[in-house]
Amino acid sequence: MADQVADPAPAKPPAKRRRVPIAYVVVLAVVAVAAFIFGTHRGGHDGLQAQTGTAVDDGAQPFAMDPLVMEENLNQQGEPGRYTVYGYFTSTMRTGRVAAIPLINPERNDVYFKFTVLYGDEVLFQSNWVPPGNGIFRQELARDLAVGDHDVRVNIDVVEREAPHAPMDSTGVNMVLTVEPT
């Protein structure tokens, strides 16, 4: 009897490759592009950082003002309807480096503000960009100020939400910062 040779195992059919329908890939690409455009061109905070190299201030907090008080304290700057600036007149702080100047970007604006508090030519505080409807209510000053009244200036740099790479005109408000003993 001749040696019997076993038949080799039957070959497996090649595995079917799962193909991702092109429609899924297209939808995913459209969503990714839309998210990028929305974040960089529609006023997204990440877009501001990408286009200007600077971030929205971590200390910026949402705020709400009584509409009557707001109307009394808001000044129009630049072209009518361009942006509104809160009127700073006086602020009081205790000795030390912590001030509580209400650095506010009114909700009705469509621009970002960057605040710089100056004592003469000395920068006491500078924020990053503050979105509309937000304010910075606590500032760590660069140094202590003596007890008494100090004439300071709040400079406000302005960029549009839709074009943060193109600065607009800046403005400033003079005010008195009163330092009281602890």
pLDDT at 67: 45
pLDDT digits (tens, 9 = 90+) for 16-72: 666 656 655 555 555 454 444 444 333 445 555 555 555 677 767 666 554 444 444
Domain-wise residue ranges, the chain: 22-51, 55-180
pLDDT at 33: 44
By C-alpha distance, which of 172, 180, 159, 181 is closest to 55? 159
The pTM (predicted TM-score) of the whole model is 0.61
Question: Which is more confidently placed, 11 or 97?
Answer: 97
In terms of DSSP bridges, do strands 83-86 and 74-77 run parallel, antiparallel, or are they unpaired? antiparallel
- What CATH number does the domain located at 55-180 have? 2.60.40.2550
Is 119 in contact with 111 (CB distance < 8 Å)? Answer: no
pLDDT at 99: 93
pLDDT at 154: 95
DSSP per-residue letters across 49-93? HHHHS-PBPTT-EE----HHHHHHHEEEESSTTSEEEE---EEEE
pLDDT digits (tens, 9 = 90+) for 113-138: 999 999 999 999 999 999 999 999 99
Question: Which is more confidently placed, 16 or 103?
Answer: 103
